[in-house]
Amino acid sequence: MTNQDVVVSEMGISAGGAALPGAGGPALFACRSAAAGAMSMRQAYLDLAAVAAAARSASCTWAEAMRASSPTRSSRSAADVDEFTAWVRKHPSALSEFEQIAGASKGKKIVMFLDYDGTLSPIVADPDAAFMSDAMRAAVREVAKRFPTAIVSGRCRDKVRNFVGLSELYYAGSHGMDIKGPSSNPESVLCQPASEFLPMIDEVYKALVEKTKSTPGAKVENNKFCLSVHFRCVDEKRWNALGEQVKDVIKEYPLLKLTQGRKVLEIRPSIKWDKGKALEFLLESLGFANSSDVLPVYIGDDRTDEDAFKVLRKRGQGLGILVSKFPKETNASYSLQDPDEVMEFLLRLVEWTRKPSSSSSSSMIRPRVS
Ligand SMILES: O=P(O)(O)OC[C@H]1O[C@H](O[C@H]2O[C@H](CO)[C@@H](O)[C@H](O)[C@H]2O)[C@H](O)[C@@H](O)[C@@H]1O
């Protein structure tokens, strides 16, 4: 594999085990016990040198890994095509394998998990303009009529909820650290395992905005329980300097960690909670914790989605589908190339449930309330 294919894992480096002041507060949320790891959290030191070391061990720099996270090549060489073909052999298209997937889901209850950016909406330069199409919205609405459906995003829950605009879904914002069920259900589940971090995140947001304002194109996005520093519109020559600016701010906050997404550095609480935990929490809330007849399907395009793919692999249950036009290291079993293919897959699934021969259980399930 070339450097371009390397996916560098989480960039936070752990040490010690300090508890967060105030962590023993009232048990407000249903997921509190599941988030017990948050209370005995690792103290994480953010260090771009460590990030670079992790990247080096994968034989590339963190900036190269950042570039590779969202390649912009317009044309592909024959070697690129061959490499992609070989990769697709290992991670077949969920569209070409649709009949097999449909067969595997017979008699099972599908639960659909969808990432937002790069999965339901195309990647664009301005994070505030990442709208999904009406056609995609209609497809997701049809899916949600048949299967419990959750949007699992790095974004702030309210923001992604506004982009998607469907009240009947579960939304897990801030990389799963802010989960809420359909608004029509007053008993809906709620999970906020990092609520103690809110004041810290706000403080760091202000500090990052101030620190990075000298870097043209840099943008800091407040995702409530985590923050994103966007590199996409920053000249690559300034990436290292911007990384240093981020490091300068974060070094004062050892309880936060840094992860890398598609041309973005993400700052989040160093708790044992991620999109994989959110997936498990939602399955449990829906009453599927130990069920063998459930088929969770998770579709996502980014490194943070790997946590969910890993959970599915570990459970030996469900389908992980990576959205990518380029070969990437992944724990997903299948692939789709872009949001258009995601929409086609969703529509085929909807179509399939209409066939009398499909015996997938598509009835809506009410979540258990703890
Ligand atoms: O988990 P996701 O829903 O995929 O969210 C991950 C990040 O997505 C957004 O950033 C990405 O999409 C932007 C719009 O297309 C793009 O400009 C950016 O370069 C991408 O990294 C979002 O803005 C971030 O806050 C999320 O963390």
Which pLDDT tens digit goes with each residue over 103-117? 989 889 999 999 999
- pLDDT above 50 (res 158): yes
Mean pLDDT of 271-280: 97
pLDDT digits (tens, 9 = 90+) for 161-182: 999 999 999 999 999 999 999 9
Sequence-ordered strand ranges (E) for 181-331: 190-191, 219-222, 227-230, 256-261, 264-269, 294-300, 319-323
What is the overall mean pLDDT for the chain?
83
Instruction: Say whether pLDDT at 265 is over 60.
Output: yes
Which of 117, 133, 157, 233 to mutate to test ligand 1, by most ligand atoms within 8 A of the CB atom? 117
For residue 222, is pLDDT > 70?
yes
Average pLDDT over residues 247-258: 96
Report pLDDT for 60: 65
- Contact residues of ligand 1, CB 6 A cut-off: 115-118, 123-125, 127, 130, 153-155, 221, 223, 228, 230, 232, 261-264, 266, 302, 304
Q: Six-digit token pair at 207? A: 């500090």
Which range is least confidently modeled, 71-85, 185-199, 239-253? 71-85
Percentage of residues in the chain with pLDDT exceeding 90? Answer: 69
pLDDT at 50: 47
What gap in Å lies between CA 55 and CA 15, rounded to an integer?
Answer: 19
Q: How far is CA 273 from the centre of its chain?
A: 12
pLDDT bracket for residue 73 (50, 70, 90): low
Nearest-atom number in ligand 1 for the CA of 156 is 25
What is the reported pLDDT for 78? 87
133-159 in b/e form (b: 16+ CB < 10 A) is eeebbebbbbbbebbbbbbbbbbbbeb
Is pLDDT of 74 > 60?
A: yes
What pLDDT does residue 365 have? Answer: 43
Among 82, 115, 126, 202, which one carries the catalytic annotation?
115
Q: Using pLDDT thresholds of 50, 70 and 90, give the confidence band for residue 361.
A: low
pTM score = 0.84
Whether the per-residue pLDDT at 82 is higher than 60: the answer is yes
**The dihedral sign for the CA sequence 189, 363, 292, 306:** negative
Query: Using one digit for the tens of pLDDT, what is the confidence trace for 44-54?
Result: 334 444 445 55
On the question of pLDDT at 80 being above 50, the answer is yes
